């Protein structure tokens, strides 16, 4: 921060995945949620802003909403 004191740092949550993701099972949304809790704790500890993208991308079953994700099951669509 000393180098660029006017810079705003934002820590963003990791996107959830759908069942279509090729590594689904080895990586789960429960693991992603746990990782996001670590990111949130770091944001709180360092007074960074936290961008919560996972909560708007999750469906009621705890997976990424298919209609919001690309066919790879990992990346959000346009």
pLDDT at 1 exceeding the cut of 90: no
pLDDT in tens, 24-72: 999 999 999 999 999 999 999 999 999 999 999 999 999 999 999 999 9
Give the helix/strand (H/E) hosting 10: strand 10-12
Residue scoring higher pLDDT (23 or 3): 23
pLDDT in tens, 11-22: 999 999 999 999
- Confidence label for 6 from pLDDT (cuts 50, 70 and 90): confident
- Give the residue from 33, 41, 27, 22 showing the smallest Cα distance to 58: 33
Q: Is 19 exposed, middle or buried (0-12, 13-18, 19+ CB in 10 A)?
A: exposed
pTM, two decimals, is: 0.85
Separation of CA 46 from chain center: 19
Taking the C-alpha atoms of residue 17 and residue 23, their distance in angstroms, rounded to an integer, is 9
């Amino acid at each position: 921060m000393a180098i660029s004191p006017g810079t705003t740092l934002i820590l963003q949550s990791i996107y959830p995945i759908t069942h279509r993701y090729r590594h689904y099972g080895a990586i789960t949304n429960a693991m992603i949620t746990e990782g996001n809790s670590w990111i949130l704790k770091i944001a709180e500890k360092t007074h960074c802003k936290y961008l919560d993208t996972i909560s708007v991308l999750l469906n009621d079953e705890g997976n990424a909403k298919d209609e919001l994700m690309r066919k790879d099951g990992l990346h959000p669509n346009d």
